[in-house]
């Protein structure tokens, strides 16, 4: 009986590994395609705007330089002050240690997929009301670097997902 149980557990582990490999491959393809769009400057802003989930692109100084329509509409619903000239990611406002690290370490060339986040929009609390931040339904993010032609990391990208 012990051998059958071990074999069944081994099969389940193999299934989980295959599922994780497929998900990682899909994420990698998404990131590569997005990076290609960035290289074709005129085209990417239209496609980013059509993406149904919020996207934020930021500099190594944590300044937002581009957001899509989904992000903007979320901010407009829950906004404190959209008139601010500079919007930054406030790393000290991020309660999740993994998320805070990912926002920073993306500039070391790392890519992150984080799930079960409590309030990832807390990093934008200068423009989003504190009470609205806790109610958002986007609890997953993919954070990855964008590189220049000479392979230097110029920006970080955050995809927010439900």
Q: Which CATH number characterizes residue 110's domain?
A: 3.30.450.20
Q: Which residues pair with 159 in a beta bridge?
A: 55, 142
Terminal CA-to-CA distance of the chain, rounded, Å?
Answer: 42
Of residues 134 and 28, more confidence is placed in: 28
The Cα–Cα gap between 92 and 37 comes to 31
pLDDT at res. 135: 44
* pLDDT tops 70 at residue 89: yes
* pLDDT tops 60 at residue 77: yes
pLDDT at res. 40: 57
Domain residue limits at 136: 2-161
pLDDT at res. 133: 47
| Residue 42 DSSP SS3 | helix
Q: Are strands 112-114 and 153-161 parallel, antiparallel or unpaired?
A: unpaired
* pLDDT tops 70 at residue 131: no
Q: How many Å separate Cα 16 from the centre of its chain?
A: 23
Count Cβ atoms below 10 Å from residue 119 Cβ, excluding itself: 21
Nearest residue to 57 via CA among 28, 37, 80 = 37
The Cα–Cα gap between 103 and 144 comes to 9
102 near 160, Cβ under 8 Å?
A: no
pLDDT at res. 92: 78
pLDDT at res. 37: 61
Tally of structural domains, the chain: 1
């Amino acid at each position: 009986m012990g051998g059958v149980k071990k074999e069944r557990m081994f099969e389940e582990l193999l299934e989980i590994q295959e599922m994780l490999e497929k998900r990682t491959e899909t994420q990698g393809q998404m990131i590569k395609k997005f990076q290609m769009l960035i290289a074709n400057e005129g085209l990417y802003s239209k496609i980013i705007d059509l993406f149904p989930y919020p996207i934020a692109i930021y500099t190594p100084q944590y300044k937002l330089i581009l957001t899509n329509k989904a992000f903007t509409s979320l901010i407009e619903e829950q906004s404190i002050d959209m008139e601010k000239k500079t919007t930054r990611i406030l790393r000290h406002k991020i309660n999740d240690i993994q998320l805070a690290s990912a926002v920073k370490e993306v500039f070391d060339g790392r890519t992150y997929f984080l799930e079960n986040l409590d309030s990832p929009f807390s990093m934008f609390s200068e423009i989003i009301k504190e009470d609205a931040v806790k109610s958002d339904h986007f609890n997953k993010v993919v954070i990855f670097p964008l590189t220049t032609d000479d392979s230097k990391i110029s920006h970080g990208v955050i995809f927010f997902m439900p």
